[in-house]
Amino acid sequence: MENKMRKVTYSPFAHGGNSVNKAMLDVIIALVPVILASIIFFRMSSILVLLTTTASAVTFEYISRLILKRYNSCQDLSAVVTGLILGLTLPPNTPLLLAILGSLISIVIVKQLFGGIGNNIFNPAATGRAFLLIAFSVPLTKWVNPITPTYIDATTSATPLSLVKTVMLNIKGGDFEAARTAYNLISADAWNLIKLLFTGEVAGSLGETSALAIIIGLIYLIVKKRIHTEIVASYVISAFVVAAILSFTYDLGPLFPLISILAGGLLFGAVFMATDWVTSPMTKKGRIIFGIGLGILTIIIRTFSNFPEGVVFSIIIMNMATPLIDRHSGNKIFGKVKVKSNEKK
């Protein structure tokens, strides 16, 4: 019998066919409904902002990798995903120079200086958005009505979240009667507002207005098994519970928690930012804790801070807590014996 020699290589010996490129492509496909909704409601403004953030993100990725003498990682599409998500968190009338600056912070500072994909401790898009909001709060909090081309006739408008923030500010100031009065203005046509929040025909950031488009993207990610549903579910449920407690405490009505969930970037952040594989916990229990922390922090920041939105800040804070959560939420190791030291003190 002939003895054939076989070459033995390092493990793993089999590959499931998955790759960063394929995973990022699925995220881009999931973002398509959100992108289309933003274009329908904000037209050319949406196209300009998204093209600017995406193109600048890829450019900064290429240049930074070249300077740092690392292999070209642009083909893995992670920079495209970061650029699209960043663009979708911005208002439609964002100055394009600020959009480029946001991409610079996200790609170079948050991602590449930490070692590239898989090494960043903060979500790049969330950090870039938070930086722009803190440094340039005035242009980043100006909103326009949907289906109004901003380059022709920009019409400033209050977002549903800013109306909710008015209620929260009155609660923060201790004027509970004013809070109820402000909420009555919202609840006067609450069901119509909820319908508009679901379809997307409201003022707001490009990717946060249409809950329907976000849910379609979520379903696609679940089908492709690209997302941990524990984070999304625990985030939304905990935020709803905290908003319900506020509603019950200050007599704000039964629809206040639902409006709090649909308004602002909570759903978009829960689906496309909080579930980032690199910056979220690895265990199921850890992801539930992570989501609960996000929901509580989002409503607290919305209520007691000077910013109308708390999503990106809560994501950054919980990103910092991820290593601690992983450490204390891991599976118990059976058979582990604690070795006592024989050294004399």
**pLDDT per residue over 263-322, tens digit each?**
878 999 999 999 998 889 999 999 999 999 999 999 988 888 877 788 999 999 999 999
d(CA 273, CA 130): 13
Q: Which of 240, 245, 246, 235 is nearest to 318 (CA)?
A: 235
Whether the pTM exceeds 0.75: the reply is: yes
pLDDT at position 236 over 90: yes
Q: Given a cut of 80, is residue 328 above it in pLDDT?
A: yes
SS3 156: strand
Please measure the distance between the N-terminal and C-terminal CA atoms of the chain and give it in whole angstroms: 66
| DSSP code at position 308 | S
Environment class of 157 (CB within 10 Å of its CB; exposed 0-12, middle 13-18, buried 19+): middle
SS3 state of residue 339? coil
Is 251:60 a contact under the CB 8 Å cutoff?
A: no
Residue 98 near residue 53, CB atoms below 8 Å? no
Question: How would you label 44-54 residue by residue, b for 16+ Cβ within 10 Å and e otherwise?
Answer: ebbbbbbebbb
Position 345 pLDDT exceeds 60? no
How does pLDDT run across 128-186, given as a tens digit for each residue?
999 999 999 888 887 777 764 443 334 444 566 666 666 666 666 666 677 677 666 66
198 contacts: CB under 8 Å, gap ≥ 6: 210, 211, 212, 262
Give the position of tokens 């610079």.
104
Lowest mean pLDDT among 94-108, 128-142, 172-186, 233-247: 172-186
- For residues 299 and 168, the answer to whether their CB atoms sit within 8 Å is no
Q: What pLDDT shows up at residue 86?
A: 95
Per DSSP, the three-state class of 20 is helix
Please, are residues 170 and 178 in contact by the beta-carbon 8 Å criterion? yes
pLDDT, tens digit, for every residue of 35-73? 999 999 888 989 999 999 999 999 999 999 999 888 887
253-263 per-position pLDDT tens digit: 777 788 888 88
CB count, 10 Å around CB of 201? 16
Q: What Rg, from alpha-carbon coordinates, does the chain have? A: 23
